[in-house]
């Protein structure tokens, strides 16, 4: 009984939160609703007995959405409503419906054809995190390592792109030094104007 | 589902809520007294004996103050932010064992709300959500200082989460379990078995990161009183501001429990003496938070980032690699 109550409660909450994310024109509402929705999804993992994945869902998405907030802070005045430019509302609607139908079809197809069975069933003797570790490092070792290498590549690329003036700290320099440095640059600094 | 189990759980939740809300209140009293003694002052003295009733006076003030919601703020988010900080602090307590199990009238009580087998991860994850409070409060206020504070809380969160995770990884590899009770039992043989001796680097790193996670003084950038006028709290008043406070102090107590259990042996073998030792360890960690506040200045945001990414993170990664190598060689040698 508790499982059913929890499932329907969190299902309603998750759908509600993501509806707000899509429908609102307020950046702060959208981000907050998305963070909440991502955290509510973890409840389904807990209901299914996958504690480890549930907690990982919380850890990963609180951090990820926090980074989105940082971007939101940089690009928008988050206390104001954003006026979006919609040139072709019909095309957007059509594409949206097609995409949603496709997603529903992809998710439902294994259930319809009743070929839904666990390839690596849960071992009762193993704990939650042990089971995941075992599967990751035996059956899915190659995809796991490839993902790790991809993340490493992304990290190095990020450092190369962002780290051009990392040896200098504007906080520690005197005003004259900063003026000299910006004068020495051939291109004038792009002004950080108000939006 | 057993009725006794449901009643027991509800009683536990209520007890934890009441005890730690009260402790959060007394935490402010301890903090003011400790700071005062370290600065050769007396601290609060006028309300009650030695100023003990100051807590009640502050409580009445906070509860009866007018609840102001300033103009131009994003109202729902502004109202939600303090609740997130306070609520997540108490949610995190669900997986912390506060006391060894004991028997009352033939009924064994486990003083932990839910012993899930990923306890420590759950505690750290839910505590991390608590940082959404300052972030949302700062972003929803129509105030430059609040916005700077929100930006800083995002930066601190994203960086110090890495340190906490990596520092925890090494002791968890040794124990082989994520449950706080298992971690405690691993060290139950006595003081020589504490993880702090075998993992001193992880202990120090986690301790440093705990200051960032709770936003205490050397890393108090999120609400820097003298620089950005209490940061995210600038626009708040009354009980909404009080909720931020309760959340912060409850978090300090809970992270002290977590540190005592993971690194300093927790409640040991589960005897009454061990239980009181746990409380002493928690009191020491809490006192250390206050001591640091009296002894250290705040550091600059760029120093904070430098410390995180260029000092602590490489050390943490090295610690994990060395621990892994040692465990592997021990396994090989054993076989």
pLDDT digits (tens, 9 = 90+) for B150-171: 888 888 888 888 888 888 888 8
Tell me if B286 is assigned to some domain: yes
Picking from B1, B81, B84, B122 by the largest number of A CB atoms within 10 A of its own CB, the best residue to mutate is B122
**Residue for token pair 């005003």:** A175
Cβ-defined contact of B122 to A55 (cutoff 8 Å): yes
> Which tens digits make up the pLDDT trace of B9-60?
888 888 888 888 888 888 888 888 888 888 888 888 888 788 888 888 888 8
B135 to each of A66, A174, B138, B156, B163, how far by Cα in Å?
9, 31, 5, 11, 20
Question: CA torsion B104→B106→B107→B112, rounded to 10°?
Answer: 50
- CB of B177 within 8 A of CB of B183? yes
- What mean pLDDT is reported for chain B? 83
Angle at B187 between CA B185 and CA B188, to 5 degrees: 60
Task: Assign A26 to helix, strand or coil.
Answer: strand
Are B161 and A51 within 8 A, CB to CB? no
pLDDT bracket for residue A83 (50, 70, 90)? confident
The residue-averaged pLDDT of A154-175 equals 78
> How much is the pTM?
0.82
Contact between B128 and A129 using a beta-carbon 8 Å cutoff:
no
**Rounded Cα distance, B53 and B101, in Å:** 34
What pLDDT, in 10s, does the model give residues A95-143?
989 999 999 988 888 777 666 677 777 676 777 777 888 888 888 899 9
Domain with B165 in it: 70-334
Chain B residues in contact with chain A using a Cβ-Cβ cutoff of 8 Å: 1, 72-74, 76-77, 80, 116-118, 121-122, 124-126, 128-129, 131-132, 135-136, 139-140, 142, 147, 150-151, 154-155, 157-158, 161, 165, 177-178, 300, 302
Give the mean pLDDT of A62-69: 81
State the smallest CA–CA distance between residue A26 and chain B in angstroms. 10
pLDDT of residue A186: 52
Q: Is the ipTM of this complex over 0.90?
A: no
* B147 assigned to some structural domain: yes
* Total domain count, chain B: 1
CA distance B30 to chain A (A): 32
Average pLDDT, chain A: 81
Identify the closest residue of chain A to B125 by CA–CA distance.
A59
B62 pLDDT higher than 90: no
Residue B335's pLDDT band (boundaries 50, 70, 90)?
low
Which residue ranges make up each domain of chain A? Answer: 1-84, 93-126, 140-185
DSSP states along B102-171: EEETTEEE-SSS---TTHHHHHHHHHHHTTHHHHHHHHHSS-HHHHHHHHHHHHHHHHHHHHHHHHHHHH
């Amino acid at each position: 009984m508790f499982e059913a109550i929890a499932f329907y409660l969190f299902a309603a909450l998750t759908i509600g939160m993501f509806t707000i994310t899509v429908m609102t024109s307020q950046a702060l509402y959208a981000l907050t609703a998305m963070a909440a929705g991502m955290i509510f999804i973890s409840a389904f993992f807990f209901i299914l007995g996958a504690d480890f994945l549930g907690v990982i869902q919380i850890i990963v998405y609180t951090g990820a959405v926090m980074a989105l907030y940082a971007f939101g802070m940089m690009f928008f005045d988050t206390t104001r409503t954003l006026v979006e430019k919609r040139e072709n509302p019909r095309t957007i609607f059509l594409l949206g419906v097609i995409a949603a139908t496709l997603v529903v079809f992809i998710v439902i197809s294994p259930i319809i054809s009743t070929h839904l069975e666990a390839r690596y069933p849960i071992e009762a003797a193993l704990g939650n995190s042990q089971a995941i570790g075992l599967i990751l490092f035996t059956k899915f070792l190659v995809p796991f390592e490839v993902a790790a290498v991809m993340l490493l590549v992304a990290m190095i690329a990020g450092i190369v792109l962002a780290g051009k003036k990392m040896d200098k700290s504007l906080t520690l320099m005197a005003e004259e030094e900063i003026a000299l440095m910006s004068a020495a640059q051939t291109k004038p600094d792009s002004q950080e104007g108000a939006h | 589902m057993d009725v006794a189990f449901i009643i027991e759980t509800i009683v536990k939740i209520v007890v934890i809520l009441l005890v730690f809300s009260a402790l959060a209140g007394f935490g402010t009293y301890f903090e003011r007294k400790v700071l005062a003694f370290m600065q050769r002052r007396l601290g609060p003295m006028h309300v009650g004996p030695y100023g003990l009733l100051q807590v009640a006076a502050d409580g009445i003030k906070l509860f009866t103050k007018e609840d102001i919601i300033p103009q131009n703020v994003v109202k729902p988010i502004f109202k939600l932010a303090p609740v997130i900080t306070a609520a997540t602090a108490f949610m995190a307590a669900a997986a912390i064992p506060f006391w060894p199990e004991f028997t009352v009238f033939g009924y064994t009580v486990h003083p932990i709300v839910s012993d899930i087998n990923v306890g420590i991860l759950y505690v750290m994850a839910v505590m991390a959500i608590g940082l959404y409070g300052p972030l949302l409060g700062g972003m929803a206020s129509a105030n430059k200082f609040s916005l700077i504070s929100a930006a800083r809380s995002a930066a601190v969160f994203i960086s110090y989460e890495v340190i906490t995770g990596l520092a925890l990884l090494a002791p968890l590899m040794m124990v082989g379990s994520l449950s706080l009770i298992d971690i405690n039992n691993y060290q139950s043989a006595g003081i020589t078995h504490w993880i702090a001796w075998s993992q001193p680097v992880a202990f120090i790193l986690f301790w440093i990161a705990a200051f960032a996670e709770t936003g205490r003084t050397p890393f108090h950038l999120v609400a820097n009183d003298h620089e950005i006028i209490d940061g995210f709290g600038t626009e708040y008043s009354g009980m909404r501001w009080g909720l931020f406070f309760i959340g912060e102090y409850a978090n300090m107590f809970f992270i002290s429990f977590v540190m005592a259990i993971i690194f300093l042996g927790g409640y040991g073998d589960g005897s009454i003496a061990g239980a009181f030792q746990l409380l002493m360890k928690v009191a020491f960690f809490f006192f250390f938070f206050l001591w640091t506040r009296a002894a250290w200045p705040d550091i600059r945001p760029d120093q904070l980032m430098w410390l995180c990414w260029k000092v602590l993170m490489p050390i943490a990664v090295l610690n994990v690699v060395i621990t892994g190598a040692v465990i592997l060689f021990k396994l090989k040698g054993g076989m």
